[in-house]
Amino acid sequence: METHLMSAHFCPQCGQQTFTSQDNNRYQCSDCQFEVFRNVGAAVGGILVYQQHVLLVKRSKAPAAGEWDLPGGFINPDESAEQALRRECREETGIDPGESLQYLGAWPNQYPYKTLVYPTMDIFFAAELHDKPACKVDNSEVSGFSWRPLSDCAELKLAFPSAQQALSRYLSLSQ
């Protein structure tokens, strides 16, 4: 059973089961008046393209283990979205997408991990690679990769709806 991050309703300050929300965003304890906001986590994804082929990675762990995805991950504190994407791409594939990242858009997502569901805002960039890089798969992050022709990507199902939306946006802009 998945639990949304703030649905336990126990106050983190006084421990009483008096932590409620009227809007699923602002939570307040009726005993001690402690207040907290349910903010989203920030994540990035990249559409790396070389000669009309996009790099896909196969996820090696939950959520969506075994499904195709775009390289990316969560943004660390004190890191820009672009820095995070470069780091995640290097960690997962050994590829540095370079400095010429083009912003595609951002979409909300749900990231179920273990028994919690984290709300995220997934920020996507595209990068045209001038040389075909050699991929070095980090099996703790991804179990494989594939260079797919852009012409075959319209019907492709990716692990997360936000990645699907980013790929669709990229395909519509590149026509």
| 37-69 pLDDT per residue, tens | 888 999 999 999 999 999 999 999 999 999 999
Provide the terminal-to-terminal Cα distance of the chain, rounded to the nearest Å: 42
Mean pLDDT of 10-36: 88
Domains present along the chain, CATH in parentheses: 1-38 (2.20.25.30), 41-173 (3.90.79.10)
Cα dihedral 50, 86, 112, 141, rounded to 10, equals: 80
| pLDDT classification of 36: cutoffs 50, 70, 90 | confident
CB atoms within 10 A of CB 13: 14
pTM: 0.87
β-strand pairing of 35-37 with 26-29: antiparallel
| pLDDT classification of 20: cutoffs 50, 70, 90 | confident
More confident position, 136 or 9: 136
Mean pLDDT of 135-163: 91
How much is the CA Rg of the chain, to the nearest whole Å?
19
Q: Indicate the burial class of 104 (C-beta count within 10 angstroms; 0-12, 13-18, 19 or more).
A: buried
| pLDDT classification of 136: cutoffs 50, 70, 90 | confident
Mean pLDDT of 97-109: 95
Query: What are the beta bridge partners of residue 4?
Result: 117
Instruction: Return the pLDDT at 4.
Output: 57
Helix (H/G/I), strand (E/B), else coil: 165:
helix
Mean pLDDT (the chain, rounded): 91
Alpha helices by DSSP H, listed for 19-150, are 81-93
More confident position, 23 or 166: 166
Share of the chain above pLDDT 70, in %: 95
Instruction: Give long-range contacts, CB 8 A cutoff, 24+ apart: 129-133.
Output: 129/48, 129/49, 129/50, 129/95, 129/97, 129/98, 131/50, 132/50, 132/51, 133/50, 133/93, 133/94, 133/95
Polymer length in residues for the chain? 175
